[in-house]
Structure 1
Amino acid sequence: MDLALSTAGAAVRGAGRLSPRGGAAIALPLFGHVARPRPVHGGDRSTMEGARRSVVRVPGLDRRGADVSTYEWGHGSEVVVLAHGWNGRASQFATLVRELVSEGWRVVAFDAPAHGETPGRGTYLIDWIDALAELQRRHGRIHAVVGHSFGGLAALVAVGAGVQADRVVTIAAPADADLLLTQFQAMLGYDDRTAAALRRRFAARYFPGESDPFARLSALRRPLPASALLLAVHDEGDRVVPFGELARLRDAHPHASMLATQGFGHNRVLTADPVLDAVVDFLAQPSAVTLPGAAVRAAV
């Protein structure tokens, strides 16, 4: 644990011992805080430089409005939208972008608020969902949404809530927002009373008037509609999002295609050849590709 995280955890724990509500008040802005954007990898620069750029307007975390940077490649009639994860950026999909464009799709990606080239200091899942909704309004019905990690959960929630997409691909995705709260608690080490207070404060702040907003931030409690096909990919050695999330998604989507890999971890899985091949095949087939229990190991 680095010094800043250790200090933040101590502040939340100390305040929480005196008042769970006080601890939650300190924790909430930390929950939505984003680290400085990661740089674009050298091998991805040419792909990003070749993108057609624009923005979509979303309400933003503070609901004052935010301009989200978007990128577009290719000229196909069917659109594939890519959603990066927390502390990620659109450029992480550069390898997949090249694969999809070569197969004839038009590809669209975005940098969520406080990520990549989109300014800001904080964000949360609703910004991803709003960005996906705006892109669907701009481009019409989407052939597929491909989401990595946090972006995978956003894809599931957005399409489950009505964003029109025929297919969803998740790569290393959590199954619901509850996992994120649990991981945040484990990271900062505060007690269950503060955790409960944070949950209430989060709901009141971002979803006022909703009795249980976490129901709609869950691909388990609100699975994808039957019209949307799902391919879920996860690596057994993922140290960021537990591999067990793949089974949770399978249980909620019994007809989905599943791909378990080994040796690629949380981020390298995005450029792994077996994953790229599976995604392209899934998007190209007229019906779902059946990969029940499929497992792929990284070459050593």
Structure 2
Amino acid sequence: MRADPQTLQAHAAFLRTLPPLPISPRAEAYLRSGHEVALEHRGQAIFARRFDAGPRKALLVHGVNGRASQWVKLASRLQAAGITPVLFDAPGHGFTGGEQTDTDLSAEVIQAVVERVAGVDIAIAHSFGNAWLYRALAKGLRVERLVTLCGPARARYIVDQHVQRCRLSPEQAQAFCGLLEARHGTDFWQAYSPAQIARQLETAALIVHDRADSIIQYAQALELRAAFAQAELLSTERLGHFDLLKDDQVIAAILAFVDGAPASDVARPDAAAPG
């Protein structure tokens, strides 16, 4: 099926990123204080920083249209706990710059950053950045502990959301999906779905999701948890899609989990319910 101009525009928009989020002077000062991880990928300089604190390292992956500065509070807490955080801005984001990215490109950058810092023990991702991280895991990245914040379970969910935003007709949606399959392969729906990838992982995982998340529905977290051999779900209330990144109780649960506590010990139903 041939794609009409509106469908082609929707496909271009699927790859295009928004202008970088504003960054506070304090957050920028923190990021600039880290050790530069010198990296160039596909001819583009990647902004990446390492904050030395101990031998264990944690990679923090922001979401689509996010940036590394969103992790400053959690990164500083990891440092205080003796864990070295590694932060980066994906192509099309933050200080890395550019106007577009896709799952494969960002997954390649994740792998390149991890290789440059000689491996990481922990990976933490937010929102659609989980699609990038899980793709890297499918490509061979290995970690001991995995934390998914507000992530999707299925590629179909990601695509359906975009189709709705672009107001494509059923025929246009079918053509749009054909463009994705032409770019990524006909196995796109399985190969790029975090839940499908999770079924092949032996990594201990903590999934954190707000019940009222308006960006990625809570049902996605339930589906993702069911796909793991060993994972627990920490459900939050009234934190939405972004506030849990800086919520003290959520951060405490993440720190306990990456320190070795069983996921079931930190994923109590009331663990992150505001008082």
TM-score (norm 2): 0.92
Unaligned runs of 5+ in 1: 1-15, 60-64
Q: Check conservation: 1:80, 1:107, Cα contact below 8 A.
A: yes
Q: How many residues align?
A: 274
Deviates more, 1:130-139 or 1:257-266: 130-139
Q: How many Å separate the matches in 1 of 2:253 and 2:267?
A: 12
Displacement, 1:283?
A: 0.4
Displacement, 1:225?
A: 4.0
In structure 2, the partner of 1:13 is none
- Tell me which amino acid in the other structure corresponds to 1:38: L
Displacement, 1:20?
A: 4.0
The answer as to 2:259 corresponding to 1:284 is yes
Q: Check conservation: 2:130, 2:194, Cα contact below 8 A.
A: no
Q: Check conservation: 1:56, 1:131, Cα contact below 8 A.
A: no
Displacement, 1:57?
A: 2.7
Q: How many Å separate the matches in 2 of 1:42 and 1:261?
A: 30
Displacement, 1:152?
A: 2.1
Q: How many Å separate the matches in 1 of 2:15 and 2:97?
A: 14
Q: How many Å separate the matches in 2 of 1:161 and 1:287?
A: 26
In structure 1, the partner of 2:194 is 219
In structure 1, the partner of 2:163 is 185
Larger Rg belongs to: 1
Q: 2:29 aligns with which of 26, 46, 49?
A: 46
TM-score (norm 1): 0.85
Cα RMSD, aligned residues only:
2.0
Displacement, 1:285?
A: 1.0
Deviations 1:29-69 (A, max 9, x none): 1111111101113542332232222342334xxxxx32221
In structure 1, the partner of 2:121 is 143
Q: How many Å separate the matches in 1 of 2:108 and 2:20?
A: 20
Displacement, 1:297?
A: 1.6
Displacement, 1:290?
A: 3.7
Secondary structure of 2:64's partner? coil
Q: 2:98 aligns with which of 117, 120, 130?
A: 120
Cα distance change of structure 1 residues 240 and 55 upon mapping to structure 2, 3 Å threshold: farther
Q: Check conservation: 1:69, 1:110, Cα contact below 8 A.
A: yes
Q: How many Å separate the matches in 2 of 1:293 and 1:107?
A: 26
**Same amino acid, percent of matched pairs:** 24
